[in-house]
Chains A and B, each alone.
Chain A
């Protein structure tokens, strides 16, 4: 086959077919359009303002490694004026997270960014290894997900940052749309496509790779020779997400625009007012001060279950009642430290959220 020239510069040899557009482009144009699209995503959503302190949620995997590289590049190229940090959560999974954290430590050197590692062990008193030893591999992803979300916010508070960016890509978001539809999770369906989430009492969180295809992220890492870690978690993977993922990859093989199309569908769903009304209002966890849709936040509930040896009971609402029926939480129960937002002077007052709850 004759070599094809780049559809953008009409000069260099094409090395990649873009899944989003079908265009055949060369390496330099690929770097340029990939970075520029992320820049456009950032500016159109007005994610940052000069002087913002931004933590990059870094796992050592492909997405967050590419995100750190691109954030550093764009911050310098377009003079965003951001102070960038790497924030890693150590779930305490021997042979998995300990290895990937070594990658993050190398990234810290390569990108010259301060790194904070916060472990489940220091925050909750439990590593994932210890949790799996107690509850088995059945629901461990529930614990890990709930604990990670809160750990990221707490790590961000320790770093005193305004904003957390994560490496979620277009494929991840399309997967989540599909999962929320299949589960009938209307509340999450509405939220999962927003590029930026911010409750009054949470740290701003956003996804600059919302429209970036996984294929392009991996190709970017390959051609830039970025150092990333790729091993499956040693505990049973999230089976439900796995099915959604395999299904999505099959759709993409048949029609590459499927991923972006699903995200657009997710964005276009409108929730009827009377459905919205049944959703729980956000409040503050009475035990740890973190945002919650119940009196106790999910992490505190799960932790109490673990501590009282009724861990599997804490995953559902019905099981929560069983936990309550067993008596009140013991006095000396291990709890998560009180959550406090960063104390630095901020643009918007954040104290109202705390006063607003009972």
Chain B
């Protein structure tokens, strides 16, 4: 199965949930299963940012998942950038990841 290589950066205190390490290089599957009713054929879709958020929670996050994920997306107050562009301009969770993408997560919730 083909994989996509990504560079992940955490900032604004979020790195504390990820082994206190700001920069990570990861590889995730290019196509991921779509949840389907039991018995039907397994379908796949290209990996998107929503998939990545859950992948990070399940594979990279070390503590306090509730500070990262809430209601199927990042917790309100976490900013996401795709190749240095606000993810709100890139379709947010529906953005389809490409090999070599750089994704940045920054918490705005820590002290001023």
Residues of A within 8 A of B (CB): 1, 4, 13-17, 24, 59, 61-64, 167-169, 171-172, 214-215, 217-219, 222-223, 230-233, 245-246, 249-250, 252-253
A252-B76 in contact (CB<8A): yes
B76 near A218: Cβ-Cβ < 8 Å: no
Does any Cβ of A come within 8 Å of B46's Cβ? no
Contact A172 B112 (CB under 8 A): yes
Q: Which residue of chain B is the closest to A67 with respect to CB atoms?
A: B112
- Per-residue CB contact flags for chain B residues 83-94 toward chain A (1 = under 8 Å, else 0) read 011101111000
Number of residues from B at the complex interface, CB < 8 A? 25
The answer to whether A61 touches B89 (Cβ under 8 A) is no
CB distance from A291 to the nearest CB of B (A): 24
Residues 1-38 of chain B: 1 if any A CB is under 8 Å from the residue's CB, otherwise 0? 00000000001110010000000000000000000000
CB of B109 within 8 A of chain A?
A: yes
Shortest C-beta distance, A17 to chain B (Å), equals 4
In the complex, chain A residues whose CB is within 8 Å of the CB of B72: none
For residue B81, CB closer than 8 A to chain A, the reply is yes
Give the distance in Å from the alpha carbon of A17 to the alpha carbon of B89 in the complex.
7
User: What residues on B are CB-neighbors of A4 within 8 Å?
Assistant: 89
- Given A62-B12, A215-B79, A219-B79, is A16 in contact with B89 using a C-beta cutoff of 8 Å? yes
Residues of A with C-beta under 8 A to B95: 1
User: Are A61 and B79 neighbours in the complex by a CB distance under 8 Å?
Assistant: no
Choose from B81, B88, B112 the contact partner of A222 (Cβ within 8 Å). B81
Does B108 belong to the interface (CB within 8 Å)? yes
**A222 and B89 contacting across the interface, CB-CB below 8 Å:** no
CA A59 – CA B104 in complex, angstroms? 24
Point out the residues of chain B lying under 8 angstroms from A59, CB to CB: 111-112
When A222-B104, A231-B16 are in contact, do A16 and B86 touch as well, CB less than 8 Å?
A: yes
Chain B 67-106 interface 0/1 with A at a Cβ cutoff of 8 Å (1 = within): 0000000011101010011101111000100000000101
**A222 to B88, alpha carbons, bound, how many Å?**
16
- Whether the Cβ atoms of A232 and B76 lie closer than 8 Å is no
Known: A24-B89, A230-B13. 20 other contacts (CB 8 A): A4-B89, A15-B84, A16-B86, A17-B89, A59-B112, A61-B111, A62-B108, A64-B112, A214-B77, A215-B108, A217-B108, A219-B79, A219-B86, A223-B84, A230-B107, A230-B110, A230-B111, A249-B75, A249-B77, A252-B76
Inter-chain CA distance A59–B111, complex, in Å, is: 9
B32-62 interface (Cβ within 8 A of A): none
